[in-house]
Amino acid sequence: MAELGLREPVIFELSRPGRHAGTQFPPRVAGTAQVPAHLRRAAPPLLPAVSELQVVRHFTRLSQMNFSIDTHFYPLGSCTMKYNPKVCHTLASLPEFLGRHPLAPESQGQGFMACMYELQEMLKDITGMQGVSLTPMAGAQGEYAGVAMIRAYHRAHGDLARSEIIVPQAAHGTNPATATMCGCSVREIPCDANGDVDLDALRAAAGPQTAGIMLTNPSTLGVFERRIEEVARIVHDAGGLLYYDGANLNAILGKVRPGDMGFDVIHMNLHKTFSTPHGGGGPGSGAVGVGARLLPFLPIPLVGREGGRYRWLTEKDAPQSIGRLSGFAGNAGVNLRAYIYMRLLGREGMIRVAEYAALNANYLMKRLQAAGFEAAYPGRRASHEFIITLKRENRDHDVTAMDVAKRLLDYGFHAPTTYFPLLVPECLLIEPTETEAKEDLDRFCEAMSAIRHEMAHDPGKLSAAPHTMPVRRLDDVRAAKQLDLAWKPAA
Amino acid sequence: MAELGLREPVIFELSRPGRHAGTQFPPRVAGTAQVPAHLRRAAPPLLPAVSELQVVRHFTRLSQMNFSIDTHFYPLGSCTMKYNPKVCHTLASLPEFLGRHPLAPESQGQGFMACMYELQEMLKDITGMQGVSLTPMAGAQGEYAGVAMIRAYHRAHGDLARSEIIVPQAAHGTNPATATMCGCSVREIPCDANGDVDLDALRAAAGPQTAGIMLTNPSTLGVFERRIEEVARIVHDAGGLLYYDGANLNAILGKVRPGDMGFDVIHMNLHKTFSTPHGGGGPGSGAVGVGARLLPFLPIPLVGREGGRYRWLTEKDAPQSIGRLSGFAGNAGVNLRAYIYMRLLGREGMIRVAEYAALNANYLMKRLQAAGFEAAYPGRRASHEFIITLKRENRDHDVTAMDVAKRLLDYGFHAPTTYFPLLVPECLLIEPTETEAKEDLDRFCEAMSAIRHEMAHDPGKLSAAPHTMPVRRLDDVRAAKQLDLAWKPAA
Amino acid sequence: MPFIPHTPEDVAGMLATLGAASIDELFDEIPAGLKGARLAGVPPALSEMEVARLLAERAAQDGRPLCFLGAGAYEHHIPAPVWAIASRGEFYSAYTPYQAEASQGTLQLIYEYQSMMCGLTGMEVSNASLYDGASALAEACLMAVRANRGSNSRRVLMPRTVNPTYVQVARSIAANQNIAFEIVDFDRALGRTPVESLRAYGGEDFAALVVQQPNFFGNLEEVHELTDWAHQNNVLLIGVVNPISLALLSAPGQWGGRGADIVCGEGQPLGVPLASGGPYFGFMTTRMQYVRQMPGRIVGRTVDIEGRPGFTLTLQAREQHIRRSKATSNICTNQGLAVTAATVHLSLLGAQGLERVAQACLQRAHDLVDALCRVPGVKPAFGPPGFHEAVLTLDRPVAPVLAALAARGILGGLDLTERYPELGQALLVCATETKTDADIRAYAEALAAVQGEGLRAARGAA
Amino acid sequence: MPFIPHTPEDVAGMLATLGAASIDELFDEIPAGLKGARLAGVPPALSEMEVARLLAERAAQDGRPLCFLGAGAYEHHIPAPVWAIASRGEFYSAYTPYQAEASQGTLQLIYEYQSMMCGLTGMEVSNASLYDGASALAEACLMAVRANRGSNSRRVLMPRTVNPTYVQVARSIAANQNIAFEIVDFDRALGRTPVESLRAYGGEDFAALVVQQPNFFGNLEEVHELTDWAHQNNVLLIGVVNPISLALLSAPGQWGGRGADIVCGEGQPLGVPLASGGPYFGFMTTRMQYVRQMPGRIVGRTVDIEGRPGFTLTLQAREQHIRRSKATSNICTNQGLAVTAATVHLSLLGAQGLERVAQACLQRAHDLVDALCRVPGVKPAFGPPGFHEAVLTLDRPVAPVLAALAARGILGGLDLTERYPELGQALLVCATETKTDADIRAYAEALAAVQGEGLRAARGAA
Ligand SMILES: Cc1ncc(COP(=O)(O)O)c(C=O)c1O
Ligand SMILES: Cc1ncc(COP(=O)(O)O)c(C=O)c1O
């Protein structure tokens, strides 16, 4: 028998026929109601039969195998892993909020709707937009809503040929994928050596087929697109609209507004900038904001206010809307958490977000440069994040960005984003966020320096990393080849 | 820089002047109220200045350094470490319950008081007693209440000489300590080779000076005192009363009632048998139950019921009461959790507790015996717990019970209670509880067998254990000699 | 500063390292004319204490009425451990598990989730979630069009018994890819989709047929016949199912001779609170042969370099971050936390508990319909409920009745008058295992009173 | 079976191992005549869903009135992280940290707690908690009698300005050891204990003098004078303090020339909810010279066999499990979870936050007294409040006024009429940082209305 490791069986392995967490079963109800025999289930579903303690212990132990904001510095670029205030969860979990049925009448929703209305208003102000819809359920769905509105706008103007979306190379994968999903074709344009959009390429691309451009600014290269006004002019002159991917709003909160830069539509990742949790893969909320031109097309429902009462605005109020994107009104609970967070931050707090996010990013970049690492855009200010490229280290020591990422785990840090954006070789995209203390940035630098030392003196440590996690490096190739996607009982 | 360990700095080391978790500060209130200068604090207290994220991360990481029921099998004898249902905490945390001021009028307490009243009634029935008070805040305070009532009873009968408490050797330390605290002297009597009370010694001890006897049955030797009726007779005949230490009620729930055995007073550890949490050292609740003779002396307040309304019974209702033991009404929230647990178990469930606790204990004892370990009372049934003595292993391999305890941690099991009861050499008191599955008992046996193998083949593994915890074996002697009981800033 | 740990000394030191005079200097690449947002519309910061009080007041405004609404969101008992665990910081505040070795907790949990969803639906593979039930149907339609190699069609057969909001959402999302829905009518007497109504489409080319079981009215479709018809016509069968009902109802993998091809639905009933409509989660399972067409994350079990089992995201070549404009979907962030809750929920209930819940839901809907139909003027629109919902018809307009019930603290159901005018003054009601005899009686009595008042008012007016 | 994981096969296998025919056989050592409890008084099991509904109904019965009650239990803002952390299973479901290596989380936390309590009180050592404030005072008196080597007395000087319930509890616990309390009167005008009143006891032998700061009336004692008097007379000084107030008030370690000897109090204000009175926690700090007389657990920092720092329970030779009948106290289980909450709470507030809270409490009490004393018939009993409490006198019996306020959803304070008849129709009111201007106005208006009604009723009767 082995000593304790953090290994934990698959829950089905704890299962025994006849075992259960019986207090969770409802009382038996008298009656004779039955499903017709031919529609009845033949055999019970394969689910574990375990006790309540086993469930609690199993999942508690699993949880301990995760890195998370609550346990580790997590500088995952483009993901804005900052502190998720506990109170947002506590208050969004008040019994009345949790118990409110989405189709409850407005008379049983004035409290909740007041929060949503005020959230819409605050987001308008922050982005410099004219209207906001909270229904998209994540960034990518916000993007979908945005591109769909652009298409609807052109269609409404009889401009049926505009079906091409311009996307800079550095764009997040969801941008081109969204364009396709919206039935558009994608035209990628390059960035120049400083990370700015290649304006000539943009001019060449823009034309009567252009529906719009999707841009994030600062871009995922971690730098601010300085000629944004020129970009806007080119696209608008060509008859296209500008889409702002607001996943990175943390970089500019209170500093500059997408509406003022000339954007027509924006989605925001409330689960990043406004600190709702990531939950190991969601939920998110991808609220969209629009300028005047796109107002009629916002996805429904919206919360309106009339004579001191709140009411849902639906198909009837917005006949040109691109329609509904969710079964009810989006990820309401995520929006509620964002609302709470924004009230806690307030105006001053919101402005500070971008300031300290930028301070941390620029400081960390500078220190890593001093430690010998190469910044991808050394001449530029970092925004809220920045890129280190390990192409030199890769050449000299045959180590990869992935090796460094895995080795960082051993030092107690979550790895930065690796291999994105795709156009920078062996890159680490590093986003410390404003909620981390200087000492933690310093400790991260120390770890990176230690790893740097290992590259030269003990490279095996890197290629075999991690060493201290519940598992060693996993075989991704095998995972994709010998698909094991669901547990099966031993035959 | 070292790789990740589970080491975590003392929170003061994270502190920096000027740092804070400002959203937790109340808004500033206008006004001129001031403390007179001579009563004002001279310098701010030494407290950490840290951010909210730092607090959350620090304590989350600390929590991960604990073994607990939610993460490990925890067979700590005499402690009844069984599953603490989550719902007890959830429901006791309903906002109205949490917000209720203890001095709120009865009109704002009928809901809470109904629970307490019903809890009193259920505990009466379970113990075979006539009255129950919920105010003692842990087992030891319940003991205090019990002995104080015994003294009050004798005093009320003018029997002022009765100030000696008989305590069997096997008794928990709180028993003699309580007797002293209550101004009594303690007379220890031995147990026989089978773990039963030595009746001759008892006869010799009982007399006109006897206030009473404190007994737990099954005793902390893990065996049922078979001649309990004889014990009761002897003590009662001598004019003393019988006190039942109900910390181990898990052993007999629904099987036999202390009142029926002849006991006059009992305390119950609701935090053991009724599964309220241990919280790393409390809170507990040591409700006391009494037979008719001691009814007038119960500590106050009690919950009474009149005409469908509940009301507090106080000094006025119970002029002979031993008085108040807590600022309000004891550990109300613990009592509420116990109430919830009891409603979930119900009558049938309560009877099953003792049955499966006994099944697990007897099974584990048998299997450990089969693996070569020596049971302290091999001829006896285990109750809910049992004792293994390692005196042979100590002689043959120079390993101690402490070594085995520490080594078990490496195998992922919390250690049993060690060196208690004091009268069994090198003992492990093992209480698996009813909520553990057979497989976990089997795995525990495997670990014990593996350790047994190590005793002979790799004894250093044991004496240097643990090896996989956040720290290795700690220097307790140094801790007591070079006292470091509070953090001090580096000079 | 709220949530920002920097001391004045930290800031000074960091700026010195940067050679910058102020933080504002770090923003000097932003064109001056653009810079500066006043945020006049954002109120000043509140303390946590103030926000807590504000939100408690807002919550109190919304109250806690007795709820007989369903229509896609269902009140169920949620065991206390579910959110005690899902709220643990290590689950709550982790990102998508990109670094597998530091995310085995989330990854193993998702693998277990996938296994359970396969078990429930009787299918071979599951993804790690989609946004919600409605958008899952949209994705299923897109997927079917991609997956159906035997068809060139971008048309999907959509019965009117499918949740109308789901159809709206599917349309919002699929229409931009020129996917069209052919609406299939239902049997007015039985409230379900007769296979006969499909016969008309015989020789035509369709990518898929959608079947919701139980359907929007709470009735049971003849899933076996419908599935067989689809397969006979080279049409993929998309099942939209309620996961709780699957404890009683035929698993989609067993529908007809070959089983459904894609199964999706709303995961909310599995431990996710009503919470004004989200976050919920959409689930999707399919056959192994279509796995590369499936949208969303997928976790696989593999081994590490020492041969120990471990878990990792796999088949990422389908996804946007690798395949970009050629991905199966743009989905990235999905509904991890709700999936965490559902996995704990399903573990607690197991097959036996789920069956108990489902049976109670079935019985309670029967009890509710019986009780309400004893009120004069109330009639069932179809037969007895198939699961936990049913359509009733009233002898008067529904909206004022619902408003009067709401004033008595009862959410009486969903008014179908606009969506299904052909049903007349119709009302969709729902009862789950959370409803007691007393609750049902309370509704029936309130309805009787409201109907009676109406009667009196009508008489008075006459 | 609720919470029991045994399958029929498990049971059969285990019984076979034991050679027993039934589980009941395992109880064959219990005399037959005693065996069997019917538990007729215990109702049948409920499901979690049913219990949840029952408790929600009970909670709703108790409502959420606006609370101006203090008197030993205080409503404060509790930051959300406090119980999010304290509720984590690893803290919540662990035992007392007997196995230090497997309990470093709890042990380090307690060490941090001890450090903070030392910091707050200005003392050298702290224990890991006692049950509550009242019983902590009882233990402090017992300890003082043990610790005061210069005195043979078992008498303790107890001012009437100490919380009367604390005195009752101290008496219940200490009287059995023949410890007697000499009651010291207070100054009627100032509501505090004049050092002159002690002069009478000059040459007598006492083990200790208790001083509560702020005292039960919310007034400030002249702690420096009282402490110096005690030390001049070979009497140990026991301070009973409110931990929040210590952000503003002189630390007991700085009282008088030498500081208090033993400090104790109620920890509830540090992140523990009102919750009908418990679980709270008692704290106790003292001088290093008395550490071996201190009751309760103590955690120390030490090193492991590799020299790394670690934490462990120490000085256990004082405790019942080692010293048995000669222990300093019988206390065993104490209030670990509440201590966990308090440690997180104090970490979040820090010195700065605590001072803000204390200042707000002070100001709010002033505001409340001002507002209420503008109501005709209401007067302050003493000067302005010293911290967050104050005594008012009414021109009529207090109880009916409080009842009328309660009917309006306001808990108006504690009626002192019985406990302090010499104060007349007196009422102890409290306002913490949780009370807003609007709350205070609401109370004042309700009181004015109630007083007015009384007036009218009185007039009507006349
Ligand atoms: C730049 C950028 N755009 C879009 C997205 C997509 O957002 P979501 O994951 O919420 O769909 C992300 C995040 O993953 C992102 O970083
Ligand atoms: C047998 C026995 N009696 C008394 C006690 C004391 O109970 P408590 O720790 O609640 O004071 C305990 C538990 O520690 C015990 O096991």
CA distance between the termini of chain A: 25
B41-54: pLDDT as tens digits: 999 999 999 999 99
Please tell me whether the peptide bond between D279 and the residue prior to it is cis, using omega within 30 degrees of 0: yes
Expressed in angstroms and rounded, the spacing between residue A137 Cα and the centre of ligand 2 is 53
Look at residue C418 and tell me whether its pLDDT is greater than 80: yes
Cβ distance A5 to A60 under 8 Å? Answer: no
Q: Determine whether the interchain pair A122/C112 forms a contact, defined as Cβ–Cβ distance below 8 Å.
A: no
Ordered DSSP codes for D348-397: HHHHHHHHHHHHHHHHHHHHHHHHHHTSTTEEESSSS-SSSEEEEEESS-
Q: Does the domain spanning D66-74+351-461 belong to CATH 3.30.2350.10?
A: no
Alpha carbon of D159: minimum distance to chain B alpha carbons (Å):
17
CA atoms within 13 Å, Cβ hemisphere of B210: 26
The encoded tokens of residue A472 equal 């060693």
Mapped onto helix, strand or coil, the DSSP state of residue A45 is coil
Residue A417 CB neighbours (<10 A): 25
Look at residue C460 and tell me whether its pLDDT is greater than 80: no
Length reported for chain D: 462
Whole-number Å distance between alpha carbons of C116 and C247: 12
Cβ distance C371 to C443 under 8 Å? Answer: yes
Of C27, C246, C316, C330, which to mutate for an interface test with A (greatest number of A Cβ within 10 Å)? C330
Look at residue D170 and tell me whether its pLDDT is greater than 80: yes
The encoded tokens of residue A372 equal 């010998």
Cβ distance D126 to B485 under 8 Å? Answer: yes
Whole-number Å distance between alpha carbons of A34 and D96: 52
Q: Helix H segments across A34-109?
A: 52-63, 86-92, 95-99
Residue A422 CB neighbours (<10 A): 15
Sorted by where each begins, the domain ranges of chain A are 11-63, 88-344, 352-477
Mapped onto helix, strand or coil, the DSSP state of residue C115 is helix
For residue C317, what pLDDT is reported?
86
A424-450: pLDDT as tens digits: 999 999 999 999 999 999 999 999 999
Binding site membership of A140 for ligand 1 (Cβ less than 6 Å): yes
* Residue C299 host element (H or E): strand C299-303
Q: A265: which strand partners?
A: A243, A290
Whole-number Å distance between alpha carbons of A215 and D124: 61
Q: Does the domain spanning C80-345 belong to CATH 1.10.3720.10?
A: no
C9 touches chain B (CB under 8 A): yes
Sorted by where each begins, the domain ranges of chain D are 66-74+351-461, 80-345
| Predicted model pTM | 0.98
Pocket test for ligand 1, best of A172, A178, A221, A417 (most atoms within 8 A of CB): A172
Binding site membership of A139 for ligand 1 (Cβ less than 6 Å): yes
D93-137: pLDDT as tens digits: 999 999 999 999 999 999 999 999 999 999 999 999 999 999 999
Pocket test for ligand 1, best of A78, A147, A174, A216 (most atoms within 8 A of CB): A174
Pocket test for ligand 2, best of D95, D332, D333, D337 (most atoms within 8 A of CB): D332
For residue D460, what pLDDT is reported?
60
For residue D455, what pLDDT is reported?
61
Binding site membership of B174 for ligand 2 (Cβ less than 6 Å): yes
Domain with residues A88-344, CATH architecture = 3-Layer(aba) Sandwich (3.40)
Chains contacting B (3+ CB pairs below 8 angstroms):
A, C, D
Expressed in angstroms and rounded, the spacing between residue B74 Cα and the centre of ligand 2 is 17
Whole-number Å distance between alpha carbons of A342 and C46: 9
Mean pLDDT value across chain B = 96
Of B6, B15, B54, B63, which to mutate for an interface test with D (greatest number of D Cβ within 10 Å)? B63
B451-473: pLDDT as tens digits: 999 999 999 999 999 999 999 99
| Nearest residue to B428 via CA among B389, B454, B400, B391 | B389
- Cβ-based contacts of B92 with chain C (< 8 Å): none
Distance of CA B95 to the CA centre of its chain: 28
| Nearest residue to C42 via CA among A350, B486, D282 | A350
* Residue C438 host element (H or E): helix C437-461
| DSSP one-letter code for B243 | E
Cβ distance D220 to D192 under 8 Å? Answer: yes
Whole-number Å distance between alpha carbons of B88 and B337: 5
Expressed in angstroms and rounded, the spacing between residue C111 Cα and the centre of ligand 1 is 23
Cβ distance C386 to C424 under 8 Å? Answer: no
Instruction: Say which ligand is closest to the CA of B220.
Output: 2
Q: Taking the alpha carbons of A462, A468, A469, A470 in that order, is the dihedral positive or negative? A: positive
For residue C203, what pLDDT is reported?
87
Distance of CA B199 to the CA centre of its chain: 28
**Sequence-ordered list of residues with C-beta below 8 angstroms from that of A191, at least 6 positions apart, any chain:** A168, A169, A170, A197, A198, A219, A221, A423
**Encoded amino acid at C165, one letter:** T
User: pLDDT-derived band of residue D318, with 50, 70 and 90 as boundaries?
Assistant: confident
Distances in whole angstroms, Cα of residue D84 to Cα of each of B62, C334, D448: 14, 25, 41
Q: Long-range CB contacts (< 8 A, 24+ apart) of C319-325?
A: C319/A173, C320/A140, C320/A173, C320/A174, C320/A176, C320/A177, C321/A172, C321/A173, C321/A174, C321/A420, C322/A173, C323/A173, C323/A177, C324/A173, C324/A176, C324/A177, C324/A186, C325/A176, C325/A177, C325/A179, C325/A180, C325/A186
The residue with tokens 């920096």 is: B16
Instruction: Say which ligand is closest to the CA of A79.
Output: 1
Cβ distance B76 to B416 under 8 Å? Answer: yes
**Encoded amino acid at A291, one letter:** G
**Sequence-ordered list of residues with C-beta below 8 angstroms from that of C85, at least 6 positions apart, any chain:** A56, A59, A60, A63, C91, C340, C344
Q: Mean pLDDT throughout C279-298?
A: 98
**Chain A with chain D: Cβ pairs closer than 8 A:** 53
Q: Determine whether the interchain pair C49/D433 forms a contact, defined as Cβ–Cβ distance below 8 Å.
A: yes
Look at residue B5 and tell me whether its pLDDT is greater than 60: no
More confident residue, A1 or D299: D299
Q: Mean pLDDT throughout A108-136?
A: 98
Look at residue B4 and tell me whether its pLDDT is greater than 80: no
Distances in whole angstroms, Cα of residue B331 to Cα of each of B255, B305, B338, D320, D327: 28, 21, 11, 22, 24
Homologous superfamily in CATH for domain A352-477 = Aspartate Aminotransferase, domain 1 (3.90.1150.10)
B397-448: pLDDT as tens digits: 999 999 999 999 999 999 999 999 988 999 999 999 999 999 999 999 999 9
- A88-344 and A352-477 share one fold: no
Binding site membership of D95 for ligand 2 (Cβ less than 6 Å): no
Q: Long-range CB contacts (< 8 A, 24+ apart) of C32-35?
A: C33/A229, C34/A228, C34/A229, C34/A256, C34/A260, C34/A261, C35/A255, C35/A256
Q: Mean pLDDT throughout C112-132?
A: 98
B409 touches chain A (CB under 8 A): yes
A106 touches chain B (CB under 8 A): no
Look at residue D37 and tell me whether its pLDDT is greater than 90: no
- Cβ-based contacts of C16 with chain A (< 8 Å): none
The widest CA-to-CA distance across chain D, in whole angstroms, is 87
Closest-CA residue in chain C for A260?
C34
Residue B237 CB neighbours (<10 A): 10
Q: What share of chain C is helix, strand, coil (3-state, %, to 5)?
A: 45, 15, 40
Whole-number Å distance between alpha carbons of C136 and C257: 25
Instruction: Say which ligand is closest to the CA of A142.
Output: 1
CA distance between the termini of chain B: 25
Helices and strands, counts by H and E, chain C: 13, 15
Distance of CA C330 to the CA centre of its chain: 19
For residue D320, what pLDDT is reported?
86
Look at residue A215 and tell me whether its pLDDT is greater than 70: yes
B118-159: pLDDT as tens digits: 999 999 999 999 999 999 999 999 999 999 999 999 999 999
User: pLDDT-derived band of residue B491, with 50, 70 and 90 as boundaries?
Assistant: confident
Mean pLDDT value across chain D = 96
Whole-number Å distance between alpha carbons of D178 and D175: 5
* Residue A386 host element (H or E): strand A386-389
